Structure 1
């Protein structure tokens, strides 16, 4: 048995400064719809390098509103990866659209652009309206290549960057492109769940460089209502400052001010957190080099939300680690194999690379407050299991 405290696969890091800003927010005049929301949006947009950011209640809400803003409806078909959390696909269904999966790259587990091209080429032009690539585990998808493909087939791009704030890739001109910066994707989304890079308890963000989409998202997150007098349709001289208009069907997906305050505080340590994640990943890389334990391709710019290994007898290792109070996790059960999606016609065998990945994948502890001693214990436990010790 372990003599150490339990080690989860991911966890939040809350400092005294975080606590102080939340207490200050609780003592302010606004618990929701206050100035802290816009402040959080502004600092996050600066961090990512985009023009606009819209804070919402969680990452799933960010996906849903993005799909709505992009016009997904009952006539829409959208391509995404089966290796993701179900919300990446569910957002299309929420709007009445149809999800079509494409297989993943073996080396990275992200959506295979060549498989997406095959789908597009082999279907009548106009069959598909959009593509949702996922920066899975923090791997920075080359959105420049996806933009070129999307433009060729008249598709929009929604980048699911929940795993990759702080991640980046180098474009064809050698320029660093941050995940979610809006240079190529129409919209991108982020999550502030406790196991993510930036923890707000719950929360999400949508980023874009498109002003029209930005303004639409602002309405959609608040019941489809606007209070901007410049955009009113029917205000009369009898209407005062109380007047507002509901111009479309929206939702209550607002983020409370105290969550935003925590997000601003967490962002101040974002660079430090990424550096620590990279350090942890490099130590894992070195530990598993020339062993039977395989790792995913981890390029420069990887944000390391997850550190995934692929092993034989995964269940045995998972249980062994659990017995030693190391709580590894599996990311993810392929979406097309979930009962609900199989009820829509998908079946085992549809995406062999994704299914082969799932059979062996295991996410190891990866978070900035993981100590060297804890990581050594994780590494040694894995090696002991496979060495029969």
Structure 2
């Protein structure tokens, strides 16, 4: 079935009208099996019945948007992504509210970050309108996969890669954008607990002028070894440094909490701009709390924790939202935040943000986009 993109409200402001082709999965997951999955979805283990893909070529631009049955992607063995890692991705969620409606959170920010990542990896930039519409299209056919239990969601994974078959080191002239989705359970099944993180002084997440600010797979591949070493130390995450300066965790941003409630977060052109941490800082500013985004050294954190000036720290990311940091483990020292004040503010901000995402609190910033109201029937 072909559906003109212009049939929905707010069509993309471009000079090309894309026509969506929707092909229903002839063997969708049976209702009972899907409900069993939604009762205990885990994270990233099961996937919905459909996926989205849009093609791009140097001559044709963005074209042939499709919703099709979820399944393997066929690639030529010479596809550029397999040899030169020219790919980027995003992560966001769809939330079911108490009235049954489905919303996503700050999707325009994810679209903008995907564009920045694409620019850094010499990939084409997907217009924000196409990005948001791809989510609407997928949820339009797989809305039943959005769970309704507390703190559950449908995790959305947009990604883009170079598919042109060639072995020359240059930007690919053919690219594919895909969107898949996976139901996600509550990240903390038994309540939010502080995590232990390991300092990784012998590893660099990204270098100056590198790809640290892009959400690209190579950054995550290089984190796997230090992450495995952190597990051996009884830690759940790794903190990277740029010399003396704090960067970020393997997949989360870090924030320090002062005694007066003000917040400090590292700023650098090699840190991925987190949408969750950005939202947390805006909510903190709404409360009148001080916000500092600047370079921060590990020495400043150690001294502040020792003097009582820094009373806590937390990490932010799409999957966990926000989690207090109880202990930083280094080879020759530890930083411990174990008093009630270490996590009180963090948990309060987490509750406020998740209340907005799930529709339990007013969305005064206009961060939510409803996905199920304007989607054409497939």
TM-score, length-normalised on structure 1?
0.21
With a CA cutoff of 8 Å and minimum separation of 6, indicate the structure with the bigger relative contact order: 1
More helix by percentage: 1
